[in-house]
């Protein structure tokens, strides 16, 4: 087994573990962490596939997609945290 | 006999899975956050092993650094939040089963994937506006994606701002130790220098706007954490314009190339490298300021 395939499989397992986390956790922050982990799993699958090309050079397109994905994922996380803050503030005001 | 390199990869993959499980099964939220930060660092190592140094640089700064800071910043409030009741055992079993099914399907797809032919992209690379393949894809072949990505960043900042209770200056940093202050004093010039280097390097080697922007953002966040400088409000003065600079530059270049050659973001011959560097400069400023804004929005006084 090549290490590219191994990392792709690890990525697939991460997606599955994180999916379980999203469904089975009940605290919103834990769900958010699980979602981030799922994103990491997807990135790992993509970069693993990029490495499985013939020749020495990996495919740059998935690399660019993952770079964009990392930045978008952290923006989405920050937005979700802002929503969480708002939620807990509303809960606090309701008493 | 397996080679030491493959053994290392096997161990790295297994530690990733173990840390993922530890993160989800952690007893406290703090434990979960810290496990996730360590997970991010090991991810960065995996990117290096997969010959993706660009992604490794971004992951080390964003995945492990910034996400961790954001999560830890949200911790105090999140611990007090009221949560819905824990799901029942049947719900958990169902979730476990569907996760297992998903893994089996994905694994089967990955193992049976037919080998791909060499990319047509390789032939187009010498024509690109940047020597480094990843930069060429980001800012030449798929420049539209990057334009829209900077729009997503700006949108996230606007959304986070609009969710705040009122326009209020960021809370002054808690009294920090002299160690952090001297460390920031020492690190700040080097951070700015390495951000500039990463930006310049992006044209021909791993590096570029994403990495430079995150390094700059890390420097800004450290500056906010140490109370060396009076906290600044990114919603006032010229800051919003600076935050938008990457997006505005991108739109200007798109319109300019549309008028010049008829196709948006199709650079004129000979001018590509300069335009790409200009776009990367704007993108660096936007990424850095957006991350600083997202961080300081989490600690504003209106939250109390």
Span B15-28, average pLDDT: 94
Mean model confidence pLDDT for chain B: 86
pLDDT at B127 (0 to 100): 79
Domain count, chain A: 1
pLDDT band at B299; cut points 50, 70, 90: confident
Distance CA B143, CA B199 (A): 17
pLDDT of residue B303 exceeding 50, the answer is no
ipTM for the whole complex: 0.94
Domain that holds residue A89: 3-94
As a three-state string, the secondary structure of B105-132 is HHHHHHHCCCCCCCCCHHHHHHHCCCCC
Determine the Cα–Cα distance for residues A45 and B105; give it in Å rounded to an integer.
13
Task: Report CA A73 to chain centroid distance, whole Å.
Answer: 7
Which of the 8 DSSP states describes residue B303? Answer: G
What CATH number is attached to the domain comprising A11? 1.10.287.3510
- Minimum mean pLDDT among A36-45, A72-81, B128-137: which range? B128-137
Q: Would you give the DSSP letter of residue B302?
A: G
Q: Are residues B138 and A78, on separate chains, in Cβ contact within 8 Å?
A: no
- Best to test chain B binding among A15, A29, A83 (most B CBs inside 10 Å): A29
Residue B287 near residue B213, CB atoms below 8 Å: yes
- B179 close contact with A: CB closer than 8 A: no
Given an 8 Å threshold on Cβ–Cβ distance, is B142 in contact with A61? Answer: yes
Nearest CA distance, B25 vs chain A (angstrom): 9
Instruction: Tell me which range, A51-65, A76-90, B70-84, B91-105, is most confidently predicted by mean pLDDT.
Output: B91-105
């Amino acid at each position: 087994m090549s290490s590219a395939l191994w990392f792709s499989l690890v990525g697939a397992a991460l997606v599955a573990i994180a999916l379980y986390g999203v469904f089975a956790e009940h605290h919103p922050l834990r769900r958010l962490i699980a979602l981030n982990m799922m994103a990491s799993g997807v990135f790992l699958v993509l970069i693993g596939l990029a490495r499985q090309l013939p020749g020495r050079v990996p495919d740059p397109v998935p690399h660019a997609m993952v770079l964009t994905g990392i930045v978008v994922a952290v923006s989405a996380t920050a937005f979700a945290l802002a929503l969480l803050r708002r939620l807990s503030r509303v809960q606090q005001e309701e008493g | 006999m397996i080679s030491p390199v493959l053994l290392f990869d096997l161990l790295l993959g297994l530690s990733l899975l173990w840390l993922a499980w530890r993160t989800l099964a952690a007893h406290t939220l703090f434990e979960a956050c810290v496990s996730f930060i360590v997970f991010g660092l090991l991810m960065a190592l995996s990117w290096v092993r997969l010959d993706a140094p660009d992604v490794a640089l971004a992951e080390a700064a964003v995945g492990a650094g910034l996400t961790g800071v954001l999560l830890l910043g949200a911790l105090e409030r999140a611990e007090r939040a009221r949560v819905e009741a824990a799901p029942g055992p049947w719900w958990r079993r169902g979730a476990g089963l569907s996760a297992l099914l998903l893994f089996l399907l994905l694994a089967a797809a990955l193992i049976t994937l037919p080998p791909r032919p060499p990319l047509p992209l390789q032939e187009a690379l010498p024509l690109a506006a940047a020597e480094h393949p990843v930069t060429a894809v980001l800012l030449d072949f798929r420049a539209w994606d990057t334009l829209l990505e900077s729009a997503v960043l700006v949108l996230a900042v606007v959304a986070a701002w609009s969710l705040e209770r009122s326009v209020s200056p960021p809370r002054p940093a808690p009294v920090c130790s002299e160690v952090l202050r001297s460390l920031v004093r020492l690190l700040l010039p080097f951070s700015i220098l390495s951000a500039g280097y990463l930006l310049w390097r992006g044209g021909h080697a791993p590096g570029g706007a994403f990495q430079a922007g995150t390094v700059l953002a890390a420097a800004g966040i450290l500056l906010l954490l140490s109370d060396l400088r009076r906290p600044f409000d990114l919603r006032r003065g010229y800051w919003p314009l600076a935050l938008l600079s990457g997006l505005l530059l991108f739109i200007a270049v798109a319109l300019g190339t549309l008028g010049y050659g008829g196709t948006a973001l199709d650079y004129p011959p000979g001018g590509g490298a300069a335009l790409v560097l200009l776009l990367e400069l704007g993108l660096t400023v936007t990424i850095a300021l957006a991350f600083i804004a997202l961080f300081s929005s989490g600690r504003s006084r209106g939250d109390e």
